[in-house]
Amino acid sequence: MQTDPYFPSGARGTRRSGPAMSRVLITGGAGFIGSTLCDALLARGDEVTVVDNLSTGSLDNLGHAWGHASFAFIEGDIRDARLVERAVAGHDAVVHLAARIGLRLVVASPIETIEANARGTEVVLEAATRHGMRTIVASTSEVYGLSTRHPSSESDPITFGSPTRGRWSYACSKAYDEFLALALSRERGLPATVVRFFNTVGPRQSARYGMVLPRFVRQALAGEPLTVYGDGTQTRSFCHVYDVVDALTTLINHPVGIGDVFNIGNPAEITVLDLARTVIARTWSASDITFVPFADVFGEGFEEIYRRVPDITKARAELGFSPSHTLESVIDDIAAAVTGEAALSLALAGQHADGSHV
SS3 116: helix
CA of 237: how far to CAs of 166, 197, 254, 263, in Å? 24, 10, 27, 12
- For the CB of residue 94, give the shortest distance to ligand NAD in the complex, in Å: 13
Binder of ligand NAD out of 38, 43, 93, 101 (CB under 6 A): 101
Query: In this structure, what is the dihedral angle of CA atoms 288, 216, 336, 331, given to the nearest 10 degrees?
Result: 100
- On the question of a cis peptide bond just before residue 323, with omega within 30 degrees of 0, the verdict is no
171 binds ligand NAD (CB under 6 A): no
Is the separation of the CB atoms in 274 and 268 below 8 Å? no
- For the CB of residue 269, give the shortest distance to ligand NAD in the complex, in Å: 15
Widest Cα–Cα separation across the chain: 65
DSSP string, 270-332: EEHHHHHHHHHHHTT----EEEE-HHHHH-TT--------B--HHHHHHH-------HHHHHH
Is the separation of the CB atoms in 179 and 123 below 8 Å? no
DSSP-derived pairing of the beta strands 269-271 and 235-237: antiparallel
The span of 38-46, 47-55, 289-297, 348-356 binding ligand NAD (CB under 6 A) equals 47-55
Nearer to ligand NAD, 200 or 266 (CB): 200
Binder of ligand NAD out of 49, 53, 147, 185 (CB under 6 A): 53
235 binds ligand NAD (CB under 6 A): no
Nearer to ligand NAD, 212 or 276 (CB): 212
- For the CB of residue 15, give the shortest distance to ligand NAD in the complex, in Å: 24
Burial of 183 (C-beta count, 10 Å sphere; 0-12/13-18/19+): middle
Nearer to ligand NAD, 34 or 151 (CB): 34
199 binds ligand NAD (CB under 6 A): yes
∠ Cα 22 23 26 (to 5°): 120
Binder of ligand NAD out of 7, 26, 34, 114 (CB under 6 A): 34
170 in catalytic set:
yes
257 binds ligand NAD (CB under 6 A): no
The span of 4-12, 77-85, 161-169, 350-358 binding ligand NAD (CB under 6 A) equals 77-85
33 binds ligand NAD (CB under 6 A): yes
Distance CA 175, CA 189 (A): 20
Catalytic position from the list 170, 176, 242, 306: 170
Binder of ligand NAD out of 98, 124, 125, 133 (CB under 6 A): 98
Distance CA 348, CA 345 (A): 5
Per DSSP, the chain holds a count of helices (H) and strands (E) of 12, 13
- DSSP element (H, E) containing 261: strand 260-264
The span of 96-104, 149-157, 291-299, 327-335 binding ligand NAD (CB under 6 A) equals 96-104
147 binds ligand NAD (CB under 6 A): no
71 binds ligand NAD (CB under 6 A): no
- For the CB of residue 52, give the shortest distance to ligand NAD in the complex, in Å: 4
Binder of ligand NAD out of 7, 71, 87, 120 (CB under 6 A): 120
109 binds ligand NAD (CB under 6 A): no
Binder of ligand NAD out of 52, 243, 246, 333 (CB under 6 A): 52
Q: Which residues of 69-97 are buried (b: 16+ CB within 10 A; e: fewer)?
A: ebbebbebbbbeeebbeebbeebbbbbbb
The span of 17-25, 63-71, 98-106, 151-159 binding ligand NAD (CB under 6 A) equals 98-106
- For the CB of residue 199, give the shortest distance to ligand NAD in the complex, in Å: 5
Distance CA 298, CA 105 (A): 10
Binder of ligand NAD out of 32, 216, 242, 302 (CB under 6 A): 32
Active-site annotation, residues: 170
Residues that bind ligand NAD (CB under 6 A): 28, 30-34, 52-57, 77-79, 97-101, 116, 120, 138, 140, 197, 199-200
